[in-house]
């Protein structure tokens, strides 16, 4: 799996332009990496299927 340095990060369209609450995601075929753009040293990784399930739940307004 790639290190965070080799990933292409995308900022959430819901993130403000002031740089406050920014979430960035880098997708790979088997995993999705997530980080807070204010602190690029910390991130977490989930399997692609787990990320897809999370997004589906979020779109429906569900709770975990």
Sheet architecture: strand order including 43-47: 10-11, 23-27, 31-36, 43-47
| pLDDT, tens only, 12-51 | 776 666 666 688 899 999 999 998 877 667 789 999 999 9
Contacts of 24 (CB under 8 A, 6+ apart): 9, 10, 11, 12, 34, 35, 36, 37
The DSSP code sequence of 24-52 is: EEEE-SSEEEEEETT-TT-EEEEEHHHHH
The angle subtended at Cα 19 by Cα 14 and Cα 20, nearest 5°, is 75
- Reported confidence tier of residue 5, pLDDT bands at 50, 70, 90: low
Q: Which residue has the higher pLDDT, 64 or 57?
A: 57
């Amino acid at each position: 799996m790639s290190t965070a340095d080799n990933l292409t990060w995308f900022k959430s369209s819901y993130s403000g332009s002031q740089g406050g609450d920014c979430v960035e995601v880098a997708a790979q075929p088997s995993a999705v990496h997530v980080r807070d753009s204010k602190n690029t040293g910390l991130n977490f990784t989930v399997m692609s299927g787990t990320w897809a399930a999370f997004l589906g739940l979020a779109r429906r307004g569900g709770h975990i």
